[in-house]
Amino acid sequence: MAQIEIEMVGDGIYRVPIPVPFPMKYVYCYVGRETDGWSIVDVGFRYPEAIRAWEAVFRQLGIKPRHVRAIYITHFHPDHFGLAGWMQQQTEAPVWISEPDYAMAERVWGEESVQACEVGAMFRRHGVPDELVTDIEESMWKLSLRVSPFPVLTVLDRSEIVLGQRRWAVIPVPGHSDGLISFYQPESRQLLASDHVLDRITPNISVWPGAHPNPLEQYFASLRKVEELEVDVALPAHGAVIRQFRERIGDLFRHHEQRLQKMKALAGTGRTAYEVAHCVFGHKPLTAHQWRFAVAETLAHLEYLVSVGELQKEEPRHAIIYRQ
């Protein structure tokens, strides 16, 4: 493999692009040089190009696998978590994850997972056609094959970690996932933001079985929490480094306010979540994988509108209806 474009983003901290087979192209993982070895934050999606990229990174930085002391996973989604078991096999390092996402990783990726069936059942209640539900369930099953082997996980219950020989505060930022964590370094005013605040795209905020029923409310609270931090540089997992951090948070609030108003108007005198999603996202062909996120994100906005009294939710026998 050709050289990987590794960027030094702080004393002993490297930003590493690991390929993913999705439109965003890369997940940016972070590697810290420690006094006694190395630390890694996030590992990427399990597929051959990602493994080759990590092998090249280890060569370029002179990392011996057994010198990796800790692997931190910011959340359980497969583009961050998928290679955790492989990386643990190479390094024998502990894999740390927050308690909520420890539970979700087991629920979604564990051997006895029934999450695909539960998502399918939830989507049927929200008006998704049977044929599309079947395709969504199949795509979820295929995705689970990209998260193997399953690592031995350890709950990250500390208030700080060491990364690049500096202490970083562990900041819980639920919304994108129930257990998403960011890391904040107060002296350098850096925030390792993961998927909480991204450069050009908006993080997916979705309702899933077994997770918080109002994730958009969580997300807004988490944005307000990090808005109070002094951040000169935010290091996201996708896209460019963010240097106008508070301005970007303002953009995210405006985006969701516009989306909420649009979905409230679309609900009108009564629509299912699938019908609303079709109006918002159905102007171009979507894969089953993309439809899953479109419906789940629509649900997050509709449920938030119900929680603040702007929509009503009715549950007749055939499908759940949202109306003004």
Q: Give dist(CA 305, CA 149) in Å, integer.
A: 39
pLDDT higher than 90, residue 320? yes
Number of domains present in the structure of the chain: 1
Residue-wise pLDDT for 98-122, tens only, equals 999 999 999 999 988 999 999 999 9
pLDDT higher than 80, residue 133? yes
Check which CATH number belongs to the domain holding 123 and give it.
3.60.15.10
Residue-number span of the structural domain to which 235 is assigned: 7-323
On whether residue 67 sits in a domain, the answer given is yes
Question: Which among 202, 270, 165, 176 is positioned nearest to 24, based on CA atoms?
Answer: 202
Residue-wise pLDDT for 28-81, tens only, equals 999 999 999 999 999 999 999 999 999 999 999 999 999 999 999 999 999 999
Residues 216-237 have a mean pLDDT of: 98
Residues 198-220 have a mean pLDDT of: 97
Confidence class for position 13, pLDDT limits 50, 70, 90: very high
Give the per-residue pLDDT at 254. 98
On whether residue 2 sits in a domain, the answer given is no
Q: What is the DSSP letter of 271?
A: B
Using DSSP's 3-state secondary structure scheme, residue 191 falls into strand
pLDDT higher than 80, residue 1? no
Give the per-residue pLDDT at 22. 87
Q: Give dist(CA 90, CA 103) in Å, integer.
A: 24
Tell me the pairing of strands 95-97 and 68-72: parallel
On whether residue 1 sits in a domain, the answer given is no
Upstream peptide bond of 215 is cis (omega within 30 degrees of 0): no
Residue-wise pLDDT for 134-150, tens only, equals 999 999 999 998 899 99
First CA to last CA distance, the chain: 55
On whether residue 205 sits in a domain, the answer given is yes
On whether residue 176 sits in a domain, the answer given is yes
- Which string of DSSP letters, residue by residue, matches 125-154? HTT--HHHHHHHHHHHHHHHTTS-SPPPEE
**Residue 243 host element (H or E):** none
pLDDT higher than 90, residue 199? yes
